[in-house]
Amino acid sequence: MDNDEKLLVEFLKDVDILNEIQANVDNFNVFEILGTINTEIRHSNMLAWLFNPNEVHGLNDLFINNYNI
């Protein structure tokens, strides 16, 4: 196991820091940050962009085929 793997294992064992991260992730809303909560058409456009494997996001078909991430 190289040093990066050891650091990752130590990080994953640190339950307190993972709980803190989870608490912040639960409150994260990209649409709120962008000020577009009440603009449903923009949400639809964003989802269409993510679902299109030909877009420039470089994620290919991740959102279509990997629904169990």
Q: For 5-60, how does the pLDDT look when each residue is reduced to its tens digit (9 = 90+)?
A: 888 888 778 778 777 777 777 777 877 888 877 887 887 888 899 889 998 888 88
Mapping DSSP to helix (H, G, I), strand (E, B) and coil, where does residue 54 land? coil
**CA–CA gap between residue 53 and residue 45 (Å, rounded):** 14
Q: Are residues 33 and 51 in the same domain?
A: no
Answer yes or no: do 28 and 44 share one domain: no
DSSP string for residues in 1-66: --HHHHHHHHHHH-HHHHHHHHHHHHT--HHHHHT-TT-HHHHHHHHHHHH-TTSTTS-TTHHHH-
On whether both 31 and 21 belong to a single domain, the answer is: yes
- Same domain flag for 33 and 20: yes
4: phi then psi, degrees, rounded to nearest 5: -60, -40
Whether 26 and 44 share a structural domain: no
Task: Specify the pLDDT at position 68.
Answer: 58
- The verdict on 11 and 32 lying in the same domain is yes
In a shared domain, residues 50 and 30: no
